[in-house]
Structure 1
Amino acid sequence: MDMDMLYMLLVAGGTLALPILAFLASFFLWPSTLINIYYWYWRRTLGMQVRYVDCGGYRFCYSVRGKPGTRPSILLLHGFSAHKDMWLSVVKFLPKHLHLLCVDMPGHAGTSRTCADDYSILGQVRRIHQFVESVRLNKKPFHLVGTSMGGSVAGVYAARYPAHVCGLTLICPAGLRYPTESRFLKQLQALRRAGVSEGLPLIPSTPQEMEDMLQLCSHVRFKVPQQILQGLVDVRLPHNDFYKEVFMKIVEEDSRHCLQDHMTQITAPLQVIWGKQDQVLDVSGAEVLVGALPGCEVQLLQNCGHSVVMERPRKTAKLVLDFIVAQQGLQSSSSKKQS
C-alpha cells in the first residue's frame, strides 16, 4: 500500500470517527443535548419551521408547516409539562399541504413565562385566544386539537369562541369528573391525605422517577437507557418549580372540572380519542362527554395509555384527518341542499 492510499484511508477514518465520537460523547456526557438535536432534526426533516409572535410584550413560540388552503388549518395544543415538538410523531403522518400550527402552551418551552401570568385553564384559554388573534388564525374557522391539559384548554376554548372552531378533537382530556378514578388520581389523593406536596408523579426529578412517569403515561412497556432518562430529567429539572406551580393551578377547584363546566356550550363537531388503558385520566371520561354531547364521535384505542400521541401517532393522524374530511363532506352536502 502506497503512502497516498494510506493517507486517504486515515482521512476517511477520521472523518467517520468524528461524528461517531461526538454522538457517543453526547450520549454519555450530554444526553440532554442529544435530545434537543433529535427534535431539531425531526422538525427540519418534517418541514416544521419555528416562529415567534409578540403580543403586548408576551411572546409565543410555535412551529408551523404549510399555508391555509381548502382544508381547515389545524392548531395542536400539548399537555402538561410537554412542548410543541411532542406532536412531531403525528405530524409525520399528516399530508404536507395541510396548514399545521403547534404552539408552546403558556410558560412552556419557548413561550413567555411571567410571574403575573394566570396558568389556570381559563387563564390559558385567554392566552391561546391571544395567540390565535396574533397569527390571524381566526380569519377562517380552524380545527382545534388538544391532549390532556391541552384537551381541557381546547374544549373550553371551543365553548367560549365557537365562531373560531369548525371542528374539535379532544385526546384523553383533563377537566372532567371521571366516573372511574385512575391510578394517577388515586396517587394524588394518597399524597393529599399524607400532607405531601413533593414527589408528584408527573414532575420527576430523578431518572427512576422519570421511568415511573413514562410507565404511568404509556401502556407499552419499553426499556429506556439510563443515559436517556438522565437527559430527560436534565431537560426538565430547571423547570420543575414552574411545572409544580402550573399543576397546582389546574387542580384547583375552578380548573379541575373546567371542561365539564363548559362542555354543553361546545357547538363544533367533536371527536374524542382515548387510550383504553389510560392510567392518568380514566377512559370513563369519554362517557361523560357522550352524555353531554351525544353527537360526538368516540374512538377508544386498545392497548394504549395516556400518551396516545406518542404510542399511536399514525392512528391519531388518520383519525383526525378522516374526521376533518368527513365534516367537510357534511358541510358541503348541507350547503348544496340549502342552495
Structure 2
Amino acid sequence: MDPHLVSMFVIAGGTLAIPILAFVASFFLWPSVLIRIYYWYWRRTLGLKVRYVNYEDYQFCYTYRGRPGTKPSLLMLHGFSAHKDMWLSVIKFLPKNLHLICVDMPGHEGTTRSSLDDLSIDGQVKRIHQFVESIKLNRKPFHLVGTSMGGHVAGVYAAYYPSDVCSLTLVCPAGLHITTENAFVQQLKVLQEMSAVEKIPLIPSTPEEMANMLKLCSYVRFKVPHQLLQGLVDVRIPHNDFYRKLFLEIVNEKSRYLLQENMEKIQVPTQVIWGKQDQVLDVSGADLLAKGISNCQVELLENCGHSVVMERPRKAAKLIVEFLSSMHNAASNKKQD
C-alpha cells in the first residue's frame, strides 16, 4: 500500500478519535454536558438565535427565528420545569418564513429567578406581558402557543390582553377543573395529605424517578439509557427547590383553575390539541374548553400522552400551521368582502 495513503488513514483516524473519545467521555462522565451541546447544536441547525432583554431589573432569555411579516408572529410558552428548547422538535417542522419566539418562563433557564417574584399564574401572565412589551411583539397581534403550565398562562394571557393576541393554541393546558381523577391526581392528593413535597412525581431527583416521570408524561415508551437519565437529572437537581416552590404556587387555590375562570373572556379563535392518553391532565379538559370558549376547535391525538411536543412534534406543527392558514385565509376573505 502507498505509504502516503497509510499516513492519510492514520491522520484521519487520529482526527476522528478525538471527537469520538470526547463523545464517549461526555456520555459516561458528563452526560449533562452532552445534553447542553445537543440543544446548542439543534438551535444552530434550525437557525435559532439566543437573545436577552430586560424589563427594568428583570431579564428574559429567549430564542427567535425570522422577522415579523404579513403573517402573525408566534410566541411559544413551555411547560413546568422545562425551557425554551423544548419546542425545538416542533420548530423543525414549522415553515422557516414564520417569525417565532420561544421564551424561558419566569425563573426557568436564562430568565431571572427571584425569591420576590410572583410565581402564581397571574404573576407569570404579567411577566410574559412585560416580555412582550420589551421586544415590542404586540405592535401587531400575534399567535400565542402554550403547553401544560405554559398553556395555562397562554389562555389567561389571551383573556387579560385581548388586543395583543390574534389567535391561540393550547396544548394539554393546565388550569381546568377536571372532575376525572386519574392516578396522578390521586397520588398528588395522598402526597398533599402527607406533606411529602419532596416526592412530587414531576420533580425527579434520581434516574429511576426520571424514568417514571417520562412514563407518566408520554404514551410512547422511549428507551432512554441510564447515563442519559442521569444527565437529565443532573441538569434538574440544582433547580428542584425552585420547581417545588413553583409547583405549590400553581396548584394553590389562587392559580389552580384560573384558565377555567377566564376562558369565557377569550374572544380570539382558539385551537386545543390534546393527547387522548394524557395521564397528567385528563383529555376531558378539551371538552370544557370547547364549551367555554366561543370560537374553539379541538384536535385529539390518538396514542399520545401529555408530552405532545415530544411525542408528536410533526403532527403538532402541522396542526398549528393549518390553523394559522385557516385564520389568515378567513381574515383575507373578510377584507375582500
Establish whether TM, by shorter chain, passes 0.5.
yes
Match of 2:208 in 1: 208
What runs of 5+ residues in structure 1 fail to find an aligned partner?
A: none
CA-atom RMSD, angstroms?
1.0
Match of 1:255 in 2: 255
Q: CA offset at residue 6 of structure 1?
A: 3.7
Summarize the Cα distance change of 1:248–1:88 in structure 2 as closer, same or farther, 3 Å threshold: same
Q: Which amino acid aligns with 2:211?
A: E
User: Within 5 Å, which residues of 2 pair with 1:152-167?
Assistant: 152-167=152-167
User: Within 5 Å, which residues of 2 pair with 1:44-55?
Assistant: 44-55=44-55
3-state SS in 1 of match to 2:280 = coil
Q: CA offset at residue 193 of structure 1?
A: 2.4
C-alpha distance in structure 1 between counterparts of 2:72 and 2:79, whole Å = 22
Match of 2:306 in 1: 306
User: Within 5 Å, which residues of 2 pair with 1:114-133?
Assistant: 114-133=114-133
C-alpha distance in structure 2 between counterparts of 1:6 and 1:158, whole Å = 66
3-state SS in 1 of match to 2:170 = strand
TM-score by length of 1: 0.97
Q: Which amino acid aligns with 1:234?
A: D
Give a deviation string over 1:15-47, Cα, whole Å, max 9, x none: 011111010001111000000000000000000
Identity of aligned residues (%): 66
Q: CA offset at residue 68 of structure 1?
A: 0.6
Match of 2:88 in 1: 88
3-state SS in 2 of match to 1:238 = helix
C-alpha distance in structure 2 between counterparts of 1:230 and 1:99, whole Å = 35
Match of 1:140 in 2: 140
Match of 2:319 in 1: 319
3-state SS in 2 of match to 1:214 = helix
Q: Which amino acid aligns with 1:43?
A: R
Match of 2:20 in 1: 20
**Which range moves more in the overlay, 294-303 or 142-151?**
294-303
Asked if 1:297 corresponds to 2:305, the answer is: no
Match of 2:43 in 1: 43
C-alpha distance in structure 1 between counterparts of 2:117 and 2:42, whole Å = 31
Q: Which amino acid aligns with 2:81?
A: S
Match of 1:70 in 2: 70
Match of 1:10 in 2: 10
C-alpha distance in structure 2 between counterparts of 1:222 and 1:134, whole Å = 39
Give a deviation string over 1:176-204, Cα, whole Å, max 9, x none: 00131232211101112233222100000
C-alpha distance in structure 1 between counterparts of 2:162 and 2:152, whole Å = 15
C-alpha distance in structure 1 between counterparts of 2:129 and 2:16, whole Å = 49
C-alpha distance in structure 2 between counterparts of 1:140 and 1:174, whole Å = 27
Match of 1:176 in 2: 176
Q: CA offset at residue 3 of structure 1?
A: 5.0
C-alpha distance in structure 1 between counterparts of 2:220 and 2:74, whole Å = 28
**Which range moves more in the overlay, 237-246 or 178-187?**
178-187
3-state SS in 2 of match to 1:114 = coil
Number of residue-to-residue matches in the alignment: 337
Q: Which amino acid aligns with 1:47?
A: G
C-alpha distance in structure 1 between counterparts of 2:249 and 2:131, whole Å = 21
3-state SS in 2 of match to 1:163 = coil
Match of 1:231 in 2: 231
Q: CA offset at residue 219 of structure 1?
A: 0.3
C-alpha distance in structure 2 between counterparts of 1:334 and 1:8, whole Å = 67
Match of 1:265 in 2: 265
Q: In the alignment, is the contact (CA less than 8 A) between 2:107 and 2:114 conserved in 1?
A: yes
Q: CA offset at residue 215 of structure 1?
A: 0.3
Q: Which amino acid aligns with 2:223?
A: K
What runs of 5+ residues in structure 2 fail to find an aligned partner?
A: none
Q: CA offset at residue 4 of structure 1?
A: 4.3
C-alpha distance in structure 2 between counterparts of 1:91 and 1:199, whole Å = 33
C-alpha distance in structure 2 between counterparts of 1:195 and 1:42, whole Å = 40
Q: CA offset at residue 294 of structure 1?
A: 4.6
Q: CA offset at residue 291 of structure 1?
A: 1.5
Q: CA offset at residue 2 of structure 1?
A: 6.0
Give a deviation string over 1:223-262, Cα, whole Å, max 9, x none: 2100000000000000000001100100110100010111
Match of 1:330 in 2: 330
Give a deviation string over 1:52-76, Cα, whole Å, max 9, x none: 0011011100000000111100000
